[in-house]
Amino acid sequence: MQRAAFLLKVRPELVAEYRARHAAVWPEMLEALRRHGWHNYSLFMRDDGLLFGYVECAESLEASLAGMAGEEVNERWQQAMAPFFEGIGGKPADQGLLRLEEVFHLD
């Protein structure tokens, strides 16, 4: 199991809509995430759109992302969510996230 954390920036004018979309994530998207080793996945967001994500992956974040890349539902989700993000050069969010280094963990 690997713990991973990342940052993204949601456009401030789209923060409310981003929250609404994540209050109703498609069931087939949730199933795909679980199938590819995403566990204990959380997103936290400030009012200005700074987004912090935390996930525990069965193998690694890279393996979990690679698995999701082959899922049609992920392609649809990434396209639907692409307009929400700034500063990632037009990439899908799952390719533009800024990975954070773990510097401490208390078990």
Which has the closest alpha carbon to 95: 62, 71, 48?
Answer: 62
Which are the contacts of 97, defined by CB distance < 8 A and separation ≥ 6? 6, 7, 8, 53, 88
Q: What angle do CA 2, 6, 91 make, to 5 degrees?
A: 115
Q: Is 105 a catalytic residue?
A: no
Strand order in the sheet with 38-45: 38-45, 50-57, 2-9, 98-100
Give ∠ CA 4-8-14 in degrees, rounded to 5.
Answer: 140
Name the active-site residue from 22, 36, 39, 105. Answer: 22
The catalytic residue positions are: 22
